[in-house]
Structure 1
C-alpha cells in the first residue's frame, strides 16, 4: 500500500503508540485525522505531523460514545474528503483479579477497548469502501494471544478485538478493504501508569504491580509505530510488535493450555 497522499484516521492519537503511528505515516506523506479523548494531546501530535508537510487535523472524540462516533465520519470527510485507512488504537487498561474488578469497571474497559473498535469500524466502513484501496488496522495486544492472571478484563477485550478482526477480514475478502490486527508486546507507553485498579487495592501491592508492568515495557513507542506502519505498507494481516510478542505467539501455539506454567517459571527466573 502506497501511503503518500492517503488519509488515515487514528484513535488514541494523543500519545504513545497512536502518536508514533501518526508520525511514521506523516513521514511518508499520509494526511491525518487524529482523534483522542484528550484533545490537547491530539493537537500536539497533529502539530508534530504538520512539520512533514501533511494535512493533519485534531478532534476530541470519546470512542465509548455512540453518538460521537456516528457523527465523526462526516467531520473527517468535511476536512479531508475521504478516508483510506482506519487505525483503531484507543485503549485503556484495568488490572486486578476478576473477583476484585467491579462490573462497572469491566464494562467501562470493554466499551472503549472493544465496542469502540466495533463502533468506529461500523461508522467508517462505508467511507472506506469509497477508496480505491483501504485498510482497517485494529490494535489488539500480546494479551490478545495469552491471558495472564490479573488481566481478565483487558485480555478479554483484546481477544475480542482479535476475533472481530479475523472474522471481518474473511468477510471483506475480495473487496477493496483489507483488515490488519496488531499485537504489540511490551511498548514503553503510559498505559501501566494510567491503568485503573480495583477500589481498595493495597497501595504497596499496586505500586509493586506497576513497577513490574513498567519494567516489561521496553520497546520505544516510535519503534513500535514504525513496525506497524511498515506492516500496513506490506498489507500484513497480522503484525507482531517486538520479540516478546513473537516468542509468546510461538509458545502459545505449541502449548496452548500449559504456556502460563512455562512463562511463570521464566518470569521467576
Structure 2
C-alpha cells in the first residue's frame, strides 16, 4: 500500500481547536500539508489557524466552525472543504468528549449526548467527506478511539460505549473500502495529557467534588505528551496503518484482554479504583 505524501496535499482534522487535533495539525503543517481545521469553538480555531499560517506560510489553512452532531451544518462544512481544497488526502477525527458517572447516576439523555459527540460526529464527517477522499489516488481515514475501546472500565459506560462503537465503525468501514483507494485506521491512546477528562462532562446527579476527584485521578494516569502522540498519529496516517497503539499501557491492556477476555477487569480494577469511583463521598 503506497504511503501518503502529505506535502502539498490536504488533511481535514476534527477537534482541531485544541488538544490532539491542534497538535496533529501543527505536525502536518510542519510537513507542508494543506489543512482543513474543523471545530465548534470559533475563537480557539481561529487562533490555531493563525499560528499554523505563520508556521507554514505556503500551506493553505481553512477553518470550518461546525457542531459535528448537526447534520445540516456538517453537510455545509463538507461542501465548503471540498470547494476550498482541490484534493483531500486524509481525514483525522480527533473531536470527542468524556462523561463521568455510574449507570445509576446517568440519564439516557446524558449517555445519548456523548454517543452523539463521539460516535455520530465521527460517522457524520466521515460520510460527508468520503466522496472527496475517494477522488484522491490514495487516501486514509484515521479515527481516534481509546484504550477504553479495548477494555471497558466501570464508571465510564458512555465513554466506553462510544469508543467501542468508533472501533466497530472504523473496522467495518475498513473492510467495506478494502477494494478502494481509501484505507482506514484506528488509534488507541492509553492516555494523552490534553485535559480532556478535566474538561469533560459528568452526570448531573454526581457530586461535583466527587467528579473532580475521579477526573483528577484519571488525569494522573496520563503519561504521553501531546506532541509525542501527534507524531504517532501522523506517522500512522502516512503509513496508512489499520491499528495503532499509543503508550505502553495500551499495549499491555491489549495483550491482557487477548489473554483474559473475561477476567481482565480483575487486574485493572485496583489501578483504576480512584479514577472510576463516582460514589464515595469526599472527606
Q: TM-score, normalised by structure 1?
A: 0.96
State the 1:267 CA deviation: 5.1
Residue 205 of structure 2 corresponds to 200
Hey, what does 2:97 align to over in structure 1? 92
Runs of 4+ off more than 4 Å: none
Q: Which residue of 2 aligns with 1:159?
A: 164
String of CA shifts for 1:23-68, please: whole Å, max 9, x gaps: 1111111110001110122122222222123111112110010001
Listed one character per residue, the Cα deviations across residues 117-145 of structure 1 (whole Å, up to 9, x for unaligned) are 11111111111111111111111111111
Confirm or deny that 1:23 pairs with 2:59.
no
Structure-1 separation of matches of 2:129 and 2:238: 20
Equivalent residue of 1:91, what SS? coil
Q: CA offset at residue 190 of structure 1?
A: 1.8
Residue 107, structure 1, aligned to residue 112, structure 2: yes
Q: Which deviates more, 45-54 or 64-73?
A: 45-54
TM-score under structure 2 normalisation?
Answer: 0.92
Q: Does the aligned pair in 2 maintain the 1:43–1:57 contact within 8 Å? A: no
Deviation at 1:203, TM superposition (A): 3.2
1:266 CA displacement = 4.5
Pick aligned residue for 1:11 from 14, 18, 24: 14
2:269 match: 264
Aligned equivalents of 2:204, 2:80: Cα separation in 1: 38
Q: In the alignment, is residue 244 of structure 1 matched against residue 249 of structure 2?
A: yes
The CA RMSD over aligned residues, in Å, is 1.4
- 1:135 partnered with 2:143: no
Deviations 1:136-193 (A, max 9, x none): 1111111111100001100000000001100111111121000011111110012111
| Alignment of 1:40 onto 2:34 | no
Q: CA contact under 8 A between 2:13 and 2:21: conserved in structure 1?
A: yes
Residues 76, 82 of structure 1: 8 Å contact kept:
no
What is the distance in 2 between the residues matched to 1:129 and 1:162? 21
Partners of 1:246 and 1:173 in 2: CA distance: 26
Give me the whole-angstrom Cα distance separating, in 2, the residues matched to 1:113 and 1:126.
22
State how far apart, in whole Å, the 2-side matches of 1:19 and 1:266 are: 30
Alpha-carbon contact 2:13-2:37 (below 8 Å) kept: yes
Question: d(CA) in 2 for partners of 1:167 and 1:189?
Answer: 29
